[in-house]
Structure 1
Amino acid sequence: MSISFAEQIRIGIPDELPPMPPEEPGISHAPARLRVLSPDEEALALQNALRYFSPRLHARLAPEFAAELRRDGRIYMRRYRPAYPMRARPISEYPARCPEAAAIMLMIQNNLDPAVAQHPHELITYGGNGTVFQNWAQYLLTMRYLSELEPDQTLVLYSGHPLGVFPSHPDAPRLALTCGMVVPHHSSPQDYDRLAALGVTSYGQMTAGSFMYIGPQGIVHGTTITLLNAGRRYLGTDEARGLSGRLFVSSGLGGMSGAQAKAAVIAGAIGVIAEIDPVAVQKRHSQGWVMEVESDLDRLLLRIERARREARPVSIAYLGNVVDLWERLAREGVAVDLGSDQTSLHIPFSGGYYPAGLTLAQSREMMVADPAGFRERVQESLRRQVRAIQQLARRGMAFWDYGNAFLLEASRAGAEVRRADGSFCFPSYVEDIMGPMCFDFGFGPFRWVCTSGDPADLAATDEIAAAEIEEMARAAPPEIRRQMLDNLEWIHRAGENRLVVGSQARILYSDGPGRIRLGLAFNRAIREGRLRGPVVLGRDHHDVSGTDSPYRETADIRDGSKWCADMAVHNVIGDACRGATWVSLHNGGGVGFGEAINGGFGMVLTGSEACDRRIRSMLFWDVHNGVARRAWARHENARFACERALAAEPRLRLTLPHAADPELVQSALEGVRR
């Protein structure tokens, strides 16, 4: 007798051993991880895994899990991967006692959808190790708890492990979760490898572990904004021609990096993106996120020249090694206008970066069999890549670090990427573009998901958003009018750009007042019956207030506090106090374990007046916390945004800085040094 989807969710971990699920064709699998545990620690890892199951099953499961640990370096509990298709369903199909719990289940399944996730069978959404859960038992138990969750209870997750459901109250979050929150002194990449192998921590990246990933669309708007503003800043492009005929070169099509090709086309450029994994290339090509695929460098260079002559936007995946691409471009003197990199260099030796001269299979074998040798090959490739990039930069290419730890790992490899004062020779995209042009004003990657699963609901929210933005743009001060007009162009073209992969979701860079207006408008549309189901509001952790990361989100904070994580921690606490449906706090993100603290939220809108109150309170805090921090760091654009907020909200009080005369400061210091 077949069991329905709803019944399987309610069962959670079954009492009897399920059959081993079959392999699915076309699925990209995570590489084997380093075997870093001692014999005693391997025994501990196995004990940790077995505690999810009745002792009567241990004799069968122990050898199986031990084999997984030996083969994969992790215990994924592959036998417990569900038999039902993994995808976001309409919210009405989830067995739940409150709509908030059903919406969270929808978001979890979207993160594990094979069309969305990078390595779905290993529960990895993006970034090489951006983990939703550590194992399938955690997934099954979490989904069961959510199906039982009442409106006055809160589910707690420790790095994917469902600690339990606790009594709370209706205004408390329905879910509070953390990922990788390790004591700082034990928060190195090596510590992560050991703790993850033990099954006691996970790397949630940003929106993987917080269940807020919406496919590559989640970063495509930010990448488009970055490219457009890079053209304006570095190339002096005008609004008429934009990036027409301009060449952008980067790497990575696997997870969030998959947005680069689509963003290049939306921005009007020629985008060439290197990717070594044929499964990732095929996925993005079949989804329409990359237009053409080329594996021969001679033909690729001819195609680039034809694209320049035609001055038409095109995206081309180079199926091969990124170092080979950069070196060939440099050797042939190809005029590259804009360049970056989105390999997963937060895990350079565990599948995030593949060295030149080795195939994908050879690399995956060597990283486990000869980790020291593999490390040297990776670092040699990084040095070669930097040399080629520097050649092209001397000829006029503008290159930036995309916050993936490229410059950090290149410097650790011995590449010449630092100036005499210790700063990097290339900027982070946050330093020159995203920070001063977006974050300082409160603009960031706001997003929403239509839980009905109906494309008509998404189209309706696009229309609502366009009307609200158009009205805001007319009244916008000149300091932010360009951002508003870019947003208006984005939302008008969102449907034709075919951005949806997985859930019916949309990304839109919006400021604080804009997010509140959109949230209230969506909630009103639900209340009036113009939308068929609830809407989930959220954002990337890569946002104004969401992340403290000295190599990315806070790279442009120059008062010495870019190394401090007060903002991100306070943001999660404040969101939980003001009406978030779920909150998350993570160690890591795109730059690596121990290199950042980041957090996020989800808010389920049901059309109620209580949701209106939560929107006004929580979204205001969620943006202005970071804007106030940036203003205190003496950012003039952030001060401008704070003064607007103070004028609009009489209950707000902010501590704004007084500027000190640099000559007075130096004179005082010289006086005490004599």
Structure 2
Amino acid sequence: MSIHNVSSFTTKIFKPGESAPRGKKLNTKGWLQEAALRMLLNNLDKEVAENPEELVVYGGRGKAARSIQDFQKITQALQDLEDDESLLIQSGSPVARIKTWKNAPRVLIANSNLVGNWANWDHFDELEKKGLMMYGQMTAGSWIYIGSQGIVQGTYETFNEAFHQHYQGKTKGKYVFSAGLGGMGGAQPLAAVLTGACFLGVEVDRKRAEMRVKSKYLDEIYDNIDLAMKSLNNHLENGVAKSIAIIGNVVDILPKLLERKDFKPSLVTDQTSAHDPVYGYIPQGYSMEKVEQLRKENPKLVEKDALVSIAKHVKCLLELKKRGVPTFDYGNNIRAMAKKEGVENAFDIKGFVPEYIRPLFCKGKGPFRFAMLSGDQSDLKKADAALTNLFSDYEDIQRWLKLAPERISVQGLPARILWLGYGDRLKAGLLLNQMVKNGEISCPIVIGRDHLDCGSVASPYRETEAMKDGSDAVADWALLNAFGNIASGASWVSFHHGGGVGMGYSLHAGMVIVADGSDEAAERLKRVLTFDPAMGIFRHADAGYETSQQIAREQMTGEVGVSSPHFYPRNLKS
């Protein structure tokens, strides 16, 4: 097909906020480079990013490039990059193009990584002010953010499992309460509604809430608590799943809600950017204008006031837990920040991974995602239909692939997320590659995942909280994930520090692979999409989880091969 040929091109100047190129015409010397260029631009598309002018994608200050100059140098380098070269990125700044080989990653990214004793916000902030670092979050600095959709299914899976555990799966007449509708938190209202429940959230920034209404992730906005509760109670009585936001600071709003007899949420969590008290969380009494000014003039004051507010916030969450409402941390490190401020029992609130998601991780299951480089929504529809047929025996996948096209608006390049396990990610990747090869899909497809995955993160307050063998803080697994994906031929690989929980609390790896329809791509897909989820099996089997050990025993202790890695058991039960 013509899409596999390198087209003649003229070097272009790209700007943050503009949409990624669409269609078959290349701006680079190959589709792997083109994919990286388009996904970087897609991260910063004004339909996708929180603040593209400042290069911020989501999460307070999760950036795609360190500076405008670095952004322009990266886009230039990607246009110049040969098929046997790799571009090195150090915290959002291009370092060098090096000669590698065709099956090597085209881009290698390291973001926000600091030596352990210096891995804190104070040292990071000094380096950032000097222009030496940027915060990459998870998918912001690794160029595989696909808008709020990227976390919708994970949030849906979490809420769904919580309702099953606590309410036998019944969601009608129930609601989730949370705060924070920017970035990743923007997925919460829609995820709750998709389970059949209502949602009540608090958002301090009206613009973010309005953005969620525009993208159809949120149904209603109110400035008045009484009006919001009246609407919510009406929806609950009628059994209609709707999402509502109250504009205000959660530290002002939640204490007032706690005084009301009609405030009876079924699940409670939080997705404010509490991991970053300076640039993420808005202190009580601060307007958006005030916080933006003081972040520049007196960041230490902002941090101090934010920690005070976070402590109040967590005390309210603990009160809800005391009242018997299932209350859990959704991975924003709010508990650690509150404990720092003196809330000694903050960790009485459990994390969402050990409570609801780890059983999926033990099966190598996690957030498989893909984006259509064509920009054509009909290509996404074809992919959805093919995957629906491929996974016809999976009730959860059938339900998701029915709901997602109906309810999830496209932000930037058409994309889909689908939680798939070991073996199924490979099947999906090879199917998509074949569809490109056959011309059923008009352009190559980018396949990636969140860093929040089964075998790619060391994060003792989130993904690896309360591991069975106490190995919560062992970061070797995340490094091995990055190394293995590089060796397997991923199209670009990233390794970050901090993510959604902040400096000093997490190390994590990301990978992306391009399905361009070629036989070479099929071979790379076989290696990468076998190894990557298998890392989750290795990690959890080693820690003593029986589900992972069973999979390892059945599929990973035979002959070494592409489809069957060999697992060397440490504590494998016979």
Structure 2 vs 1, CA of residues 103 and 654 (structure 1 numbering), >3 Å: closer, same or farther? Answer: same
Counterpart in the other structure of 1:640 = 550
Distance in structure 1 (CA, Å) of the matches to 2:441 and 2:330: 37
Q: CA deviation at 1:326?
A: 1.8
**Conserved in 2, the CA contact under 8 Å of 1:428 and 1:552?**
yes
> How many equivalent residue pairs?
563
Q: Deviations along 1:91-112, whole A, 9 cap, x unmatched?
A: 4344111011111111011110
Q: For 1:181, what is the secondary structure of its paired residue?
A: coil
**Conserved in 1, the CA contact under 8 Å of 2:274 and 2:310?**
no
Q: CA deviation at 1:89?
A: 2.2
**Conserved in 2, the CA contact under 8 Å of 1:159 and 1:204?**
yes
Counterpart in the other structure of 2:3 = none
Match of 2:567 among 634, 651, 654: 654
Q: Does residue 332 in structure 1 map to residue 260 in structure 2?
A: yes
Q: For 2:50, what is the secondary structure of its paired residue?
A: coil
Q: CA deviation at 1:565?
A: 0.7
**Conserved in 1, the CA contact under 8 Å of 2:83 and 2:101?**
yes
Q: CA deviation at 1:160?
A: 1.3
Q: For 2:423, what is the secondary structure of its paired residue?
A: helix
Please, what is the CA RMSD of the aligned residues? Answer: 2.0
**Conserved in 2, the CA contact under 8 Å of 1:520 and 1:612?**
yes
Q: For 2:440, what is the secondary structure of its paired residue?
A: coil
Q: CA deviation at 1:533?
A: 0.6
Q: Does residue 158 in structure 1 map to residue 90 in structure 2?
A: yes
Distance in structure 2 (CA, Å) of the matches to 1:341 and 1:395: 17
Q: CA deviation at 1:11?
A: 5.6
Identify unmatched segments of 5+ residues in structure 1.
1-5, 13-81, 419-423, 474-483, 661-674
Letter in 1 for 2:269: S
Match of 1:457 among 379, 384, 387: 379
Match of 2:273 among 344, 367, 373: 344
Q: Does residue 401 in structure 1 map to residue 329 in structure 2?
A: yes
Counterpart in the other structure of 2:76 = 144
Match of 2:436 among 505, 523, 526: 526
Distance in structure 2 (CA, Å) of the matches to 1:91 and 1:599: 30
Q: Deviations along 1:129-188, whole A, 9 cap, x unmatched?
A: 111111111111111111121111111111111112111111111111111122222211
Match of 2:455 among 545, 559, 584: 545
Q: Deviations along 1:511-535, whole A, 9 cap, x unmatched?
A: 0211000011111111111110101
- After the TM superposition, list the runs of 4 or more consecutive aligned residues in structure 1 that deviate by more than 6 angstroms: 6-9
Structure 2 vs 1, CA of residues 460 and 395 (structure 1 numbering), >3 Å: closer, same or farther? Answer: same
Alignment of 1:401-480 (within 5 A): 401-418=329-346, 424-436=347-359, 438-470=360-392, 473=393
Q: For 1:121, what is the secondary structure of its paired residue?
A: helix
Counterpart in the other structure of 1:354 = 282
Distance in structure 2 (CA, Å) of the matches to 1:631 and 1:156: 33
Q: For 1:584, what is the secondary structure of its paired residue?
A: strand
Q: Deviations along 1:245-297, whole A, 9 cap, x unmatched?
A: 11101111111111111111111111112111111111111111111001111
Q: CA deviation at 1:212?
A: 0.4
Distance in structure 1 (CA, Å) of the matches to 2:547 and 2:409: 31
Counterpart in the other structure of 1:295 = 223
Counterpart in the other structure of 2:499 = 589
Match of 2:182 among 236, 240, 254: 254
Q: Deviations along 1:186-243, whole A, 9 cap, x unmatched?
A: 2111011011111111111010000000000000000001001000112222xxxx31
Q: For 2:530, what is the secondary structure of its paired residue?
A: helix
Counterpart in the other structure of 2:104 = 172
Structure 2 vs 1, CA of residues 206 and 649 (structure 1 numbering), >3 Å: closer, same or farther? Answer: farther
Normalising by structure 1, we get a TM-score of 0.80
Q: Deviations along 1:418-461, whole A, 9 cap, x unmatched?
A: 5xxxxx2111000111112x101111000011111111100011
Q: Does residue 486 in structure 1 map to residue 408 in structure 2?
A: no
Q: Does residue 622 in structure 1 map to residue 544 in structure 2?
A: no
Counterpart in the other structure of 1:217 = 149
Match of 1:208 among 123, 130, 140: 140
Q: For 2:416, what is the secondary structure of its paired residue?
A: strand
**Conserved in 1, the CA contact under 8 Å of 2:364 and 2:454?**
yes
Letter in 1 for 2:320: L
Structure 2 vs 1, CA of residues 375 and 175 (structure 1 numbering), >3 Å: closer, same or farther? Answer: closer
Distance in structure 2 (CA, Å) of the matches to 1:328 and 1:307: 21
**Conserved in 2, the CA contact under 8 Å of 1:500 and 1:506?**
no
Per mean C-alpha deviation after superposition, the further-off stretch among 88-97 and 169-178 is 88-97
Match of 1:97 among 1, 11, 29: 29
Q: Does residue 381 in structure 1 map to residue 309 in structure 2?
A: yes
Structure 2 vs 1, CA of residues 612 and 329 (structure 1 numbering), >3 Å: closer, same or farther? Answer: same
Q: CA deviation at 1:324?
A: 2.3
Per mean C-alpha deviation after superposition, the further-off stretch among 547-556 and 370-379 is 370-379
Q: For 2:406, what is the secondary structure of its paired residue?
A: coil
Structure 2 vs 1, CA of residues 83 and 388 (structure 1 numbering), >3 Å: closer, same or farther? Answer: closer
Letter in 1 for 2:440: R
Q: Does residue 107 in structure 1 map to residue 39 in structure 2?
A: yes
Identify unmatched segments of 5+ residues in structure 2.
1-6
**Conserved in 2, the CA contact under 8 Å of 1:587 and 1:593?**
yes
Distance in structure 2 (CA, Å) of the matches to 1:598 and 1:575: 13
Structure 2 vs 1, CA of residues 429 and 594 (structure 1 numbering), >3 Å: closer, same or farther? Answer: same
Distance in structure 1 (CA, Å) of the matches to 2:9 and 2:329: 45
**Conserved in 2, the CA contact under 8 Å of 1:632 and 1:655?**
no
Structure 2 vs 1, CA of residues 659 and 112 (structure 1 numbering), >3 Å: closer, same or farther? Answer: closer
Q: For 1:523, what is the secondary structure of its paired residue?
A: helix
Q: For 1:306, what is the secondary structure of its paired residue?
A: helix
Structure 2 vs 1, CA of residues 372 and 168 (structure 1 numbering), >3 Å: closer, same or farther? Answer: closer
Q: Does residue 607 in structure 1 map to residue 517 in structure 2?
A: yes
Letter in 1 for 2:27: P
**Conserved in 2, the CA contact under 8 Å of 1:155 and 1:165?**
yes
Distance in structure 1 (CA, Å) of the matches to 2:329 and 2:234: 28
**Conserved in 2, the CA contact under 8 Å of 1:404 and 1:590?**
yes
Match of 2:481 among 557, 566, 571: 571
Distance in structure 1 (CA, Å) of the matches to 2:254 and 2:279: 20
Q: Deviations along 1:635-670, whole A, 9 cap, x unmatched?
A: 11221232342278654332334489xxxxxxxxxx
Letter in 1 for 2:358: G
Q: Does residue 509 in structure 1 map to residue 419 in structure 2?
A: yes
Q: For 2:254, what is the secondary structure of its paired residue?
A: helix
Normalising by structure 2, we get a TM-score of 0.94
Distance in structure 2 (CA, Å) of the matches to 1:8 and 1:257: 39
Q: For 1:398, what is the secondary structure of its paired residue?
A: coil
Q: For 2:493, what is the secondary structure of its paired residue?
A: strand
Distance in structure 1 (CA, Å) of the matches to 2:64 and 2:10: 17
Match of 1:133 among 65, 68, 71: 65
Q: CA deviation at 1:492?
A: 2.1
Distance in structure 2 (CA, Å) of the matches to 1:331 and 1:274: 16
